[in-house]
C-alpha cells in the first residue's frame, strides 16, 4: 500500500460559498449559527472529495473562518493583548474583530504567506507574551470528520514557523526567546488532538525552506525532541515552497515519524533524502499551479522510491491545495472555447484524482489505470507540440534581440534634458498614479456590457464620458501631467491579459487572498503576443481633450507575471521577457500616437523575490531586463515612468535604479517618507515622486502634513528631480474626497514652488 494524503484544502468552497456567508454575516443578514452550518457543510464536502479519491487520510484542522495563523494565535493564546479579549472564551465576533479591526483597535497586520498571494495575519509578540492552549477549533474539526467515519490527519503550523512569522512589538526583545514558553503549549495542543484518537499529526514547518538564522535552525532539534517525546501521536514534519536539502542531516536526525518534501518546487532535493529511514511524503503534484501533471513522469520518480521505501512512501500534493482553484469541471466556457487548454489543466479536485491514479498505479501496476495514464500522456504531448502556444516568431524575436536592446539610447542626464525641453514643467510637477474613482456607474456599465445589455458603442461612450470628466477635473485642479483615469479597466492585470495572446481566463478559478477576499488570476498558457494596440485609442482620446500632457498607462511585465498562473513548460524569466517585448509594441505605438510620457506600473516587483536570498540576484536581473525591454526602442525625449507600492523597497534599491525609469512614483506617505532616506543614501539617480498622501483612506490630509512630507523630501532629493503625487491610484476612493485631497496636494505644491523659485 502507498499512503495518499493531502496537506490542506481550499476553504472557501467551489463557488466561494464561505466568502458570501462571511460577508452576509458581517452585514448582519445571517445569524452566527447559519455561518457555522455553512462552514460545516463545506468542510464535509471537502473531506468527501478527498475520501472519494481514495485518500488514506483527509486533512482536518485546515479549515478556518479567516486565516490559519490567526487560528494558531487563538489556539496558543497569543492574540494581541491590545484588544482586551480572552483567547479562551473568544467569540466568533471577537475573532473577526482581530482580523478586521474595530472602532478602537486596528486590525492585525497582514502579510504574504511566503511567496504565495495568500496573506496571513502577523502574530504580535511581546516580551511578556504568555501562551495558553486552546485547541477547541481543531478538536471540533477532528470530531466532525470522525463522525463521518473518515480517517483523519490534523494539520497545524509548527512552533518555529509560527514564531518566525510573527513580529516583536513593544519593548525590544527577540521573539526567539519565547520558544521555551511556546513549546509546552504546543505539547498540550497536540496531545489534545492525539486524545481524539488520531494516529498522525502533520506539523508544517515551511520556515525551514527559507533563510533561517542558525540559532533557529539549531532549535529544531530540541523542540522536536520534546514534541516527539511528549506527544502521543506520530508527527509528520512537513516542508514546502523550497528545498530543505541544506538541512538534510538535521532533518534525518529529527525524532519525528515522517517528513514531507516539496518535489515540485525542488525536485533535486530528493537525492539528499534518498536514505531517509522513516515515512517520506513525496509532494509530487503541484499545489501552487493549475497544470495537469504528466503522470508517467511522476511515476518515473516514484517507482524507484517505492522499491526502496515500500510502505514508508507517502504521496501528496507539494503543499496545501489552498493555492489552487477548486474545480476545473465547472469551467464550461473554457472547455468549449479552448478545449486544448482545458485538457492541460488540473484544479484541486483534479489534482486529488491525479494522486488517486498514482496511488493505484503504485499499488496495482500501470495496467490498472492505463487509460488515465494514457490520457495524461496525450495531454502532455499535445501541450508540448501545440502550435497555439509555441509560436516560433516569439522565440525568434526574443533570441534575436540586438545587443543592449533593453538599454535606452542615451544616459538619463541626456534624456531628461531633452524631455524637459518639450515638457516645460514647473518645479515639483504634480501628477497622478493612474486610476480615478471607479464609480458604481462605471462598474454597472461594464457589467451590462459583459451581459450584453449594453452595446459596445454605448459602453465606449460611457467610458469616454468618464475620461472627459477626469481630464476636466484635473485641469480645474491645475495638475501638470494628467492621466485618463483607467475607467475602461476592470483590473490592472486582467485588462491586459484579455488583450494579449497567450492568456486565458476562468469563471470560477478563485483562490483565497485573505479572509473573504479571493482573486481570479489569469492563466498564461502560451507565447505572448500583442495582436493589436490595447490602450492607444483611449490615451489618444484623452490627449485630444487637453493641451496638458497626457500620461500613457501600462501594467509592467513583472506585475502581469506575478499576478497570474504562469505556464510551467518554459522558464518564468522567458515568459516575463515575452510580456516585456509585447508591451514594447504598445509603448512604441503610444509614442507614435504622440503619447510621450508613459508609465509602466510594477507594484509587484518586490513580491516576486525568491524565498532564498541566494536566488535574488538572478531574479532581479531578468525582472529588470523584462521591464526595460517593455520600453525598448523609445526616443530619448519620451519619458518613461514606473510606479511601485505595497512593499518596502530598501533592500532592492540598486535593482530599482537599474530599471532606469526616468521617473519613479512610489508609495511613501505611510512610512513618513522613511523610504526616501534610503533612496537618498543610495543616491538614486533619476526623478522621483514620493507619495504625499495615503490613498487607502478617505481622510483629507491637512496642508501641514503634505508640507511636512514635501519638506522632508526636499532635504534628500534635489528640487529639480522631485515630483508630487498621491501614493497610488485612486480607484477605491470616492470623488468628493479625491478632489479635496488633490486640491490640498496642488495648493501645498504651489506654495513651495513659490518659495523655491
Ligand atoms: N496605475 C494603477 C492605478 O492607478 C496602479 C495601481 C497599483 O499600483 N496597484 O490604479
Ligand atoms: Zn500603487
Question: Best substitution site from 117, 431, 432, 434 to test ligand 1's pocket, by max atoms within 8 Å of Cβ?
Answer: 434
Mean pLDDT of 277-281: 98
Ligand 1 close to Cβ of residue 731 (< 6 A): yes
- Give me the residues paired with residue 203 across strands: 156, 237
Ligand 1 close to Cβ of residue 553 (< 6 A): yes
Dist. CA 46–CA 49, nearest whole Å: 5
Span(s) in the chain for CATH 3.20.20.210: 3-385, 413-492+536-756
pLDDT at 648 exceeding the cut of 80? no
pLDDT at 650 exceeding the cut of 90? no
Lowest-pLDDT range of 35-44, 285-294, 673-682: 673-682
724 CA distance to ligand 1 middle (Å): 16
Question: Best substitution site from 481, 492, 551, 559 to test ligand 1's pocket, by max atoms within 8 Å of Cβ?
Answer: 492
Question: How far is the CA of 489 from the CAs of 437, 504, 534, in angstroms?
Answer: 12, 17, 11
349 CA distance to ligand 2 middle (Å): 35
Using CB atoms within 10 Å of the CB of residue 182, give its burial: 0 to 12 exposed, 13 to 18 middle, 19+ buried.
buried
Ligand 1 close to Cβ of residue 492 (< 6 A): yes
Residue 674 confidence (pLDDT): 80
479 contacts 742 by C-beta, under 8 angstroms: yes
Residue 449 confidence (pLDDT): 96
Binding residues for Zn(2+): 643, 645, 667, 728
Question: How far is the CA of 212 from the CAs of 160, 614, 657, in angstroms?
Answer: 10, 13, 28
Q: Is 260 a catalytic residue?
A: no
Ligand nearest to the CA of 729: 1
- Place 236 in a pLDDT band, splitting at 50, 70 and 90: very high
233 CA distance to ligand 2 middle (Å): 48
- Place 95 in a pLDDT band, splitting at 50, 70 and 90: very high
Residues near ion ligand 2 (Cβ under 5 Å):
603, 645, 728
Residue 574 confidence (pLDDT): 98
Dihedral pair phi/psi, residue 724, rounded to 5°: -125, 125
pLDDT digits (tens, 9 = 90+) for 504-521: 999 999 999 999 999 999
Query: Which residue shows C-alpha cell 475602461?
Result: 488
Question: Best substitution site from 474, 487, 729 to test ligand 1's pocket, by max atoms within 8 Å of Cβ?
Answer: 729
Binding residues for L-homocysteine: 433-435, 486, 601
Q: Grid coordinates in use for 481?
A: 501631467
pLDDT at 627 exceeding the cut of 90? yes
pLDDT at 672 exceeding the cut of 90? no
Ligand 1 close to Cβ of residue 556 (< 6 A): no
pLDDT digits (tens, 9 = 90+) for 440-453: 999 999 999 999 99
Mean pLDDT of 417-425: 98
Ligand 1 close to Cβ of residue 435 (< 6 A): yes
Residue 379 confidence (pLDDT): 98
Ligand nearest to the CA of 486: 1
**More confident call, 582 vs 490:** 582
Using CB atoms within 10 Å of the CB of residue 569, give its burial: 0 to 12 exposed, 13 to 18 middle, 19+ buried.
middle
Ligand nearest to the CA of 645: 2
Dist. CA 360–CA 299, nearest whole Å: 11
Ligand 1 close to Cβ of residue 470 (< 6 A): no
Mean pLDDT of 245-274: 97
160 CA distance to ligand 1 middle (Å): 36
- When the pLDDT of each residue in the chain is averaged and rounded to a whole number, the result is 97
- Place 157 in a pLDDT band, splitting at 50, 70 and 90: very high
Dist. CA 486–CA 484, nearest whole Å: 6
- Place 231 in a pLDDT band, splitting at 50, 70 and 90: very high
Question: How far is the CA of 731 from the CAs of 441, 460, 597, in angstroms?
Answer: 13, 19, 21
Residue 668 confidence (pLDDT): 87
728 CA distance to ligand 2 middle (Å): 4
pLDDT at 646 exceeding the cut of 80? no
Dist. CA 534–CA 496, nearest whole Å: 7
The separation between CA 188 and the C-alpha centre of its own chain, rounded to angstroms, equals: 34
Question: Best substitution site from 431, 437, 438, 486 to test ligand 1's pocket, by max atoms within 8 Å of Cβ?
Answer: 486
Which residue, judged by its Cα, is nearest atom 9 of ligand 1? 603
432 CA distance to ligand 1 middle (Å): 10
Dihedral of alpha carbons 64, 70, 74, 75, sign = positive
Mean pLDDT of 471-490: 97
Which residue, judged by its Cα, is nearest atom 1 of ligand 1? 434
Which residue, judged by its Cα, is nearest atom 5 of ligand 1? 729
Provide Rg for the chain, Cα atoms. Answer: 27
The separation between CA 587 and the C-alpha centre of its own chain, rounded to angstroms, equals: 26
> Of 475, 471, 465, which Cα lies nearest the Cα of 483?
471
pLDDT digits (tens, 9 = 90+) for 673-729: 788 888 888 899 999 999 999 998 899 999 999 999 999 999 999 999 999 999 999
Ligand 1 close to Cβ of residue 260 (< 6 A): no
Ligand nearest to the CA of 727: 2
Residue 621 confidence (pLDDT): 98
Domain 3-385 is found in CATH 3.40.640.10: no
Dist. CA 389–CA 376, nearest whole Å: 18
Ligand 1 close to Cβ of residue 645 (< 6 A): yes
Ligand 1 close to Cβ of residue 530 (< 6 A): no
664 CA distance to ligand 2 middle (Å): 11
Binding residues for 5-methyltetrahydropteroyltri-L-glutamate: 16-19, 112, 117, 517-518, 563, 607
pLDDT digits (tens, 9 = 90+) for 323-373: 999 999 999 999 999 999 999 999 999 999 999 999 999 999 999 999 999
Residues 684, 688, 691, CA angle at the centre, nearest 5°?
125
Which residue, judged by its Cα, is nearest atom 4 of ligand 1? 729
Ligand 1 close to Cβ of residue 661 (< 6 A): no
Percent of the chain with pLDDT over 90: 96
647 CA distance to ligand 2 middle (Å): 10
654 CA distance to ligand 1 middle (Å): 23
- Place 432 in a pLDDT band, splitting at 50, 70 and 90: very high
pLDDT at 647 exceeding the cut of 80? no
Residue 671 confidence (pLDDT): 75
Ligand 1 close to Cβ of residue 493 (< 6 A): no
The separation between CA 41 and the C-alpha centre of its own chain, rounded to angstroms, equals: 28
Residue 478 confidence (pLDDT): 98
Kindly report the CATH class assigned to 413-492+536-756.
alpha beta
Q: Grid coordinates in use for 244?
A: 530543505
Ligand 1 close to Cβ of residue 152 (< 6 A): no
Amino acid at each position: 500500500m502507498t499512503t495518499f494524503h493531502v496537506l490542506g484544502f481550499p476553504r472557501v468552497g467551489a463557488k466561494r460559498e464561505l466568502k458570501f456567508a462571511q460577508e452576509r454575516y458581517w452585514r448582519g443578514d445571517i445569524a452566527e449559527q447559519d455561518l457555522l452550518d455553512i462552514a460545516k457543510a463545506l468542510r464535509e464536502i471537502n473531506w468527501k472529495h478527498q475520501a472519494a479519491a481514495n485518500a488514506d487520510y483527509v486533512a482536518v484542522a485546515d479549515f478556518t473562518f479567516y486565516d490559519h495563523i490567526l487560528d494558531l494565535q487563538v489556539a496558543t493564546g497569543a492574540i494581541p493583548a491590545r484588544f482586551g479579549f480572552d483567547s479562551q472564551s473568544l467569540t466568533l465576533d471577537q475573532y473577526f474583530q482581530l482580523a478586521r479591526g474595530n472602532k478602537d483597535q486596528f486590525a492585525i497586520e497582514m502579510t504574504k504567506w511566503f511567496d504565495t498571494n495568500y496573506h496571513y495575519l502577523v502574530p504580535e509578540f511581546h516580551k511578556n507574551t504568555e501562551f495558553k492552549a486552546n485547541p477547541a477549533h481543531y478538536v471540533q474539526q477532528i470530531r466532525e470528520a470522525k463522525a463521518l467515519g473518515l480517517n483523519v490527519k490534523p494539520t497545524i503550523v509548527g512552533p518555529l514557523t509560527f514564531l518566525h512569522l510573527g513580529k516583536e512589538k513593544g519593548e525590544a526583545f527577540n521573539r526567539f526567546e519565547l520558544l521555551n514558553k511556546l513549546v509546552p503549549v504546543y505539547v498540550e495542543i497536540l496531545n489534545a488532538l492525539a486524545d481524539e484518537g488520531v494516529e498522525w499529526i502533520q506539523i508544517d514547518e515551511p520556515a525551514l525552506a527559507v533563510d533561517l538564522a542558525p540559532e533557529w535552525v539549531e532549535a529544531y532539534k530540541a523542540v522536536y525532541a520534546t514534541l516527539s517525546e511528549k506527544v502521543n501521536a506520530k508527527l509528520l514534519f512537513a516542508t514546502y515552497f523550497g528545498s530543505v536539502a541544506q538541512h538534510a542531516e538535521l532533518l534525518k536526525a529529527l525524532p519525528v515519524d515522517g517528513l514531507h518534501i516539496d518535489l515540485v518546487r525542488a525536485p533535486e532535493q530528493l537525492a539528499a533524502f534518498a536514505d531517509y529511514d522513516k515515512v517520506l511524503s513525496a509532494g509530487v503534484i503541484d499545489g501552487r499551479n493549475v497544470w495537469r501533471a504528466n503522470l508517467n513522469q511522476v511515476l518515473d520518480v516514484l517507482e524507484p522510491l517505492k522499491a526502496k521505501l515500500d510502505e514508508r512512501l507517502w504521496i501528496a500534493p507539494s503543499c496545501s491545495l489552498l493555492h489552487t482553484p477548486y474545480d476545473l469541471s465547472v469551467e464550461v466556457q473554457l472547455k468549449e472555447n479552448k478545449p486544448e487548454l482545458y485538457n492541460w489543466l488540473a484544479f484541486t479536485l483534479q489534482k486529488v484524482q491525479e494522486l488517486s491514479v498514482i496511488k493505484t498505479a503504485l499499488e496495482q501496476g500501470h495496467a490498472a489505470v492505463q487509460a488515465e495514464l494514457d490520457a495524461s500522456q496525450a495531454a502532455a504531448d499535445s501541450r508540448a507540440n501545440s502550435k497555439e502556444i509555441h509560436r516560433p516568431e516569439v522565440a525568434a524575436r526574443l533570441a534575436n534581440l540586438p545587443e543592449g536592446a533593453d538599454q535606452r539610447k542615451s544616459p538619463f542626464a541626456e534624456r531628461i534634458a531633452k524631455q524637459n525641453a518639450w515638457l516645460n514643467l514647473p518645479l515639483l510637477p504634480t501628477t497622478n498614479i493612474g486610476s480615478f474613482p471607479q464609480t458604481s456607474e462605471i462598474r454597472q456599465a461594464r457589467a451590462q456590457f459583459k451581459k450584453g445589455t449594453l452595446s459596445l458603442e454605448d459602453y465606449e461612450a460611457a467610458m469616454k464620458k468618464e475620461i472627459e470628466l477626469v481630464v476636466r477635473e484635473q485641469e480645474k485642479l491645475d495638475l501638470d501631467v494628467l492621466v485618463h483615469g483607467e475607467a475602461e479597466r476592470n483590473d490592472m492585470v486582467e485588462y491586459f491579459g484579455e488583450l494579449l495572446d497567450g492568456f486565458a481566463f476562468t469563471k470560477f478559478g478563485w483562490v483565497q487572498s485573505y479572509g473573504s477576499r479571493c482573486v481570479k488570476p489569469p492563466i498564461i498558457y502560451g507565447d505572448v503576443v500583442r495582436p493589436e494596440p490595447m490602450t492607444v485609442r483611449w490615451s489618444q482620446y484623452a490627449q485630444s481633450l487637453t493641451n496638458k500632457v497626457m500620461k500613457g498607462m501600462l501594467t509592467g511585465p513583472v506585475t502581469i507575471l506575478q499576478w497570474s498562473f504562469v505556464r510551467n513548460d518554459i522558464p518564468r524569466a522567458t515568459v516575463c521577457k515575452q510580456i516585456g517585448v509585447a508591451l514594447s509594441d504598445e509603448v512604441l505605438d503610444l509614442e507614435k500616437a504622440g503619447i510621450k510620457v508613459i508609465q509602466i506600473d510594477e507594484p509587484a516587483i518586490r513580491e516576486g523575490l525568491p524565498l532564498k536570498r541566494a536566488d535574488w540576484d538572478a531574479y532581479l536581473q531578468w525582472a529588470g531586463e523584462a521591464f526595460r525591454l517593455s520600453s525598448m526602442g523609445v526616443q530619448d525625449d519620451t519619458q518613461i515612468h514606473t510606479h511601485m507600492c505595497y512593499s518596502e523597497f530598501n533592500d532592492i534599491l540598486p535593482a530599482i535604479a537599474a530599471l532606469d525609469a526616468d521617473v519613479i512614483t512610489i508609495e511613501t506617505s505611510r512610512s513618513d517618507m522613511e523610504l526616501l532616506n534610503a533612496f537618498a543614501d543610495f543616491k538614486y539617480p533619476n526623478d522621483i515622486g514620493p507619495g504625499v498622501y495615503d490613498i487607502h483612506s478617505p481622510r483629507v490630509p491637512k496642508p501641514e502634513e503634505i508640507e511636512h512630507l514635501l519638506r522632508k523630501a526636499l532635504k534628500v532629493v534635489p528640487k529639480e528631480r522631485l515630483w508630487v503625487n498621491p501614493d497610488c491610484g485612486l480607484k477605491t476612493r470616492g470623488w468628493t474626497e479625491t478632489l479635496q485631497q488633490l486640491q490640498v496636494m496642488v495648493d501645498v505644491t504651489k506654495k513651495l514652488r513659490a518659495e523655491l523659485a
